Amino acid sequence: MAPPIVGRVARKEMLQFVRDGRARWAGIIVAVLLGVALLSGWHHVSAAAAEQAVAQAATRTSWLKQPPKNPHSAAHYGIYAFKPQSWLGAVDSGVQPYVGVAALLEAHVQNEYRYRPAADRSAAQRFGDFTAAMVMQVLVPLMIVLLAFGTIVSEREDGTWRQLQATGVRLRSVLIGKALGVSAGVAAICIPASLVAALILTLWAPPGVTGADPGRFIALTLIYVLWCAVWLGATLLVSSVARSSRTALVTLLAVWMVSTLAAPRLAADVAAWRHRTPTQAEFQEALNLDLSDATTRNARLQAKRQAVLAQYGVSTVEELPINFSGVSLQEGEEHANEVFDKHFGGLYDTFDRQNALVRRAGWLAPALALRSSSMGLSGTDWFQHRHFATAAETYRRDLQRLLNHDVAINQKPGQTYLADTSFWANVPDFTYVAPPTADVLGRQAGSIAVLAVWAFILFAVAAVVIDRRSATAGVA
Amino acid sequence: MTRVWRRIAAHEWRIMRTDGLVWPLALLLATTVAWGLYSGLQSRTVVMAGITSAQSDESQRYSRLQEQLARRDAAIARGDSQIPADPRSASTLAGRTGSRAAVLPPTPTALLSVGQSDLLPSALRVSSEPREQMLAAAEIENPHRLLDGRFDLSFVVVYLLPLVVITLAFNLLAGEREHGTLALLLAQPVSLTQVVSAKVVVRFGFVLAVSLAMVGAGVLIAGLGEGPAGAGWRLAGWTVTVLVYVAFWFAVSLLMASRGWSSATTALATAAVWLAAVVVIPSLTNLIINATYPVPSRVELVQATREASDSASTRGSVLLAQFFEDHPEMAPVVAPGQPAAPNFAATRVAVASEVARMTEPVARRYDEQLARQQQAASWFKFLSPALLAREALDDFAGTGPHRHADFRAQVDRFHATWLEYFNPRIVQRAALASFDDVPAFTYTEESAGRVLGRAGTALTALALLAGLCGLVGLRRLRTYPLTHSI
C-alpha cells in the first residue's frame, strides 16, 4: 500500500497543472496535434492501401488475360509487385516515403523497387512527416519537461522543500507522488488519443493492409509508455540535482535537442562511415560483371547438361524427352539468382548492419531505440520492406521455374510453342503475409530492454539522489 | 554610432568573454559546423563518384563500339565473306549500348548543403527506353538515412544556429532587470534602445564570426572542387542567407525580450517559437501540401503504362502500317508482288511511340499535379522561416529541388530529341556516319539571375519578417518595465 502522502502529492501536482495556463495550453495543443496526425495518417494509409489493392488486382488480370504466347515471353512480360501498406503506418510512416512502391517481377532480372514517394514531394518532406509518432517522439517529451522541470527544484527555490522535510515525510514518497501526478497529466492526453486511435484503426481498418494485429498496437503503446517514463525519470532526476529551475530547464532542453535532432543524424553518419553504402554505379557495375561471367555460366550449364543426360540415360540433348532449352533457361535463372543473392543480399546486409549499429547506439541515446522499435512495430522499417521484397523475389523465382518447366515439357524442337490463355491461371496469385507479430516483437526486444533499463536507472538514481540531497537541501 | 554606444558594446563583449557559457558554446558551434562541412564534403564525393562512373561507363561502351567498327572495317578490307554487323546502326546506338549519360555536375558550393542530392539522382541514362523508366532511376541509399536527414551545414544553420542565438539572447534585458542593474544603467545618459542594440550587435557579431570563420576555413581546406562557374555569387548568397536568418532569430529574441517577462519565461517563449517555426510548421506544411495536392503514388501510372503497352503490342502490325501511312517517306520500297521483309525494329518504334502517346495523358496529369504541388509549396514556405532559409541555402548550394527539377526537365527534352533523331533512322535501318553524331547531353546551368530571383524572394521575405519582429521589439522597449517586482 502506498503511503497516503503519495496520493496527496500526486493530487496537488495535478491540480497545479489544471490551474496553470501554460500546462493547460501545452496539453491542448499536443492533444489537437496528435488527433490531426492520427486522422491524416489513417486517411493516407486507407487511400494508399486502396490504390495498392486495385493495382495488384489489375496486374493479376493483365497476367491472366495474356493471349496465347510462349511461356518465356510471358516471363518477360512479368507481374508487378506493389508494396502493401502497413496497418500501423497510420501511426508511424517510417521509411515508407523513402522506399519504392513497385517492382516488376520478370525473367532474368531482380528489379529494384521504384518510385520513392518522397522524390515526388516538395522539399518540406525532408523536415519530416507529421505523424502521431512524431508528436509522441518530439512534442510529448517537451511537454513532460515543461510540466515537470521545476517540480522539485522550484520547491527548493521557494523554500517549501525544507518545510516538507520538517514534516517527516519520506522524500522518496514525495518523488513517487510527483511522478504519478505528472504521469496523470501526460496520460490525460495520451490515453484518450491511443484509445481513439485503437478504435479508428480497428473499426475502419483499411482493407488489404498488412500487420493488422492488436498485439502490435499494444506493444507500440507499451514502448511509448516506456518512452514517457524515460523522460519523466530524466526530468525528475534533473529537477532533483539542478541548482536552479533555470539550469534544470536548459539542461533538459539541451538533452532533448541532442536526442531528437542530433543523435539520429550523427548515428546514421557514423553507421554509413563504418559500413559504406556503394553508389548505384558501383553496385550496377559489380552486378553486371558477375551476371555476364560467361565462364561460370557455361560451366554450370555444362554440368547441368551432363546431369540431365545421365538422369534420362541418353547421350545427346536431342534424344531427351524434354526440351533442353527450358532447362537451360532455368539454369540461367539459377546462376543469376546466385549473383542477385550475393549483390542485393550484400547491399541489404549493409543496410541491416548500419541499422543495427544505430539500434545499438540506443544504449547511449534511447531515442534511437524508440525510433527503430516504433517503426518496427508499425511495420514501416527497412526490415519489413526487405521482408516484402524477399517474398516478392521468391515468388518471381517460383514463377520463372514454373514457366521454364512448362517450356521444357511442352516445347517441341523446331516448333513454335504457345501456351494457352487458360495456362496463365496455373500461376498462383502473389499474396504477401507480413512477418508474424512474435517475430517483430522478438526483433524489438533489445530496444524495449533499452527503454526499460533507462527508465529504471533514471528513476532509481533520482530516488537515491533525492535522499542524499535531502540532508543538504536548501535554496541553492 | 556614438562613443557611448561603442563603450557599451565593448563592455558587453568584456562581460561575454568572461562568461563561462560563451566559450563552450563557441566550441560547440565550431564543432557542429566542422561536422556539417565534413558531411557535405562526403556527400559531394559520393555524387561525384556516381557522375564519374556514369561517364566512364559511357566512354567504355563507346570504345568497345569503336573496336567493333575497327574489326568490321578490317573484315571489309580483307574482303571476308562474313562481315560483322555495323555498330553504327541506329537501332544499336539508340538502345542501351549507345545510351548517353546525362549528368548534373555539383556546383562549387555543393558541400554547403546536401539538400535533395541524396534522394534525387545526379546521373541519368538516356536511351530509347520509355521516359518514365528513365526518370525513375534513383541513387542507392539506406532509407533510414534518407528519413533521418543529414548532419550537414544546412542542418546546423537551420536548426542549431537559432538555438545558439536564443541561448545568447534570451537574457538581453530580463537578467539586468532582475539584478536591478538596468535601472541603474539607464540613469546614465543612454537610451534603452542603445543598450539593447549594443548587446544584440555584439552577440550577432560573435555568432557570425565563429560560424563564418569555421565555414571559411573549411571551404579553404576542402576546396570548392571543379564545378561549373558561379562560386563567387553562390558563396556570397549563402553567406547573406545565414546572416539574414541569424538576424531573424535575434529579432525574435528581441521581440520576446521586450515583453518584460522573467528570463525563464522569455527563454521558454523563444524556444516555443523555435519549435513552431523549425519543427512543427514545416512538418505540418508537408502534411497540408500532401493532403491538398496529393500526388497519387506512381502505382496508377505503372499500371496505365502496362495496359497501354499490352494494347499497343497486340496491334503491332496495324500500328506499323499506320506509322508508314503517317510517314510515307520512310516506307520500305518493295518490288511489286514481293512481300516486304519484316522490320522488327520499325514495329518496336511504332509500338513504343503508341505506348508513349497513350500514357502521355496519365503522365501529364502527374506532372501537372506535381507542378501544382510545387506551386503550393512555394507559397506555404512563407509560413516558416526555416523553410525559407532552407530553400535559399539549398538554392545557393545548387542541391535544392529547383535545380534538380530543371535538370530533369532538360533530360526530358533531350530524351524527346533523342527519339526524334533515332526513330526515323531505326525505321529506315540507317547507320550513323560516325559515333560523334549520337546526340550528347550537357546540362545548361540555370542563370545566376534566375537562382538569385528565386532565393532572393525567400531572402526578402525572411528579411521583412526579421525587420518586422525587430521594429515591434524596439517599439515595445519604450514601455519596458525597468524594475523588477517579485
What's the rounded Cα separation, in Å, for the pair A289 and A293?
Answer: 6
In chain B, residues with a C-beta closer than 8 Å to the C-beta of A117 are 295, 297
pLDDT, tens digit, 9 for 90 and up, residues B139-172: 899 999 999 999 999 999 999 999 999 988 887 8
Q: Confidence class of residue B18 from pLDDT cuts 50, 70 and 90?
A: confident
The reply to whether B486 falls in a domain is no
> How large is the average pLDDT for residues A438-460?
94
Distance from CA of B11 to the nearest CA of A (A): 25
User: Among residues of chain B, what percentage have pLDDT more than 70?
Assistant: 95
What's the rounded Cα separation, in Å, for the pair A365 and A369?
Answer: 7
Ranges A202-206, B208-212, B269-273: which has the least confidence: A202-206
Residue B450 has pLDDT above 90, yes or no: yes
Q: Confidence class of residue B338 from pLDDT cuts 50, 70 and 90?
A: low
Q: Are A43 and B291 an interchain contact pair (Cβ–Cβ within 8 Å)? A: yes
This model of the complex carries an ipTM of 0.92
User: Among residues of chain B, what percentage have pLDDT more than 90?
Assistant: 48
Q: Confidence class of residue B31 from pLDDT cuts 50, 70 and 90?
A: very high
- Contact between A103 and A389 under an 8 Å Cβ cutoff? The reply is yes
Q: Confidence class of residue A472 from pLDDT cuts 50, 70 and 90?
A: very low
Q: What angle do CA A407, A411, A412 make, to 5 degrees?
A: 155
- Contact between A39 and A130 under an 8 Å Cβ cutoff? The reply is no
- If one compares B300 and A145, the residue with the highest pLDDT of the two is A145
Tell me how far CA of residue A356 lies from CA of A86, A270, A279, A449, B84, in angstroms: 22, 12, 21, 15, 53
For chains A and B, count residue pairs whose Cβ atoms are closer than 8 Å: 213
- Contact between B193 and B474 under an 8 Å Cβ cutoff? The reply is yes
pLDDT value, residue B15: 87
The reply to whether B317 falls in a domain is yes
pLDDT value, residue A470: 54
pLDDT value, residue A280: 85
Q: Confidence class of residue B486 from pLDDT cuts 50, 70 and 90?
A: very low
Mean pLDDT (chain B) is: 88
pLDDT value, residue A471: 44
Q: Are A115 and B298 an interchain contact pair (Cβ–Cβ within 8 Å)? A: yes
The reply to whether B161 falls in a domain is yes
pLDDT value, residue A69: 87
- Number of structural domains (chain B) is 1
> How large is the average pLDDT for residues B281-297?
86
- Please report the beta strands in A121-191, taking only residues with DSSP state E, as ranges in sequence order: none
What's the rounded Cα separation, in Å, for the pair B248 and B250?
Answer: 5
Distance from CA of B293 to the nearest CA of A (A): 10
Which domain, by its residues, includes B378?
3-477
All cell numbers assigned to B362: 496519365
The reply to whether B482 falls in a domain is no
In chain A, residues with a C-beta closer than 8 Å to the C-beta of B120 are 119
Q: Are B119 and A146 an interchain contact pair (Cβ–Cβ within 8 Å)? A: no
> How large is the average pLDDT for residues A424-446?
92
pLDDT, tens digit, 9 for 90 and up, residues A127-175: 989 999 999 999 999 989 988 888 888 888 888 888 888 888 888 888 8
pLDDT value, residue B334: 63
Residue B1 has pLDDT above 70, yes or no: no
pLDDT value, residue A95: 95
Tell me how far CA of residue A469 lies from CA of A163, A222, A232, B478, in angstroms: 15, 32, 19, 45
Residue A249 has pLDDT above 50, yes or no: yes
Residue A475 has pLDDT above 60, yes or no: no
CB of B63 less than 8 A from some CB of A: no
All cell numbers assigned to A216: 502490435
Mean pLDDT (chain A) is: 89
pLDDT value, residue B341: 66
Distance from CA of A78 to the nearest CA of B (A): 10
Q: Which one of A38, A43, A54, A98 makes the best mutation probe of the B interface by having the most chain B beta carbons within 10 Å?
A: A98
pLDDT, tens digit, 9 for 90 and up, residues A11-56: 888 888 778 777 788 888 888 999 899 989 998 999 899 989 988 9
- Number of structural domains (chain A) is 1
In chain A, residues with a C-beta closer than 8 Å to the C-beta of B379 are none
- If one compares A24 and A98, the residue with the highest pLDDT of the two is A98
pLDDT value, residue A197: 82
Give the DSSP letter string of A350-379: HHHHHHHHHHHGGGT-HHHHHHHHHHHHHT
Nearest CA in chain B to A283: B140
Residue A473 has pLDDT above 50, yes or no: no
Q: Confidence class of residue B332 from pLDDT cuts 50, 70 and 90?
A: low
pLDDT, tens digit, 9 for 90 and up, residues A179-237: 888 888 888 888 888 888 888 877 777 777 888 888 899 999 999 999 999 999 999 99
CB of B290 less than 8 A from some CB of A: yes
pLDDT value, residue A474: 44
Which domain, by its residues, includes A199?
4-472
pLDDT value, residue B355: 86
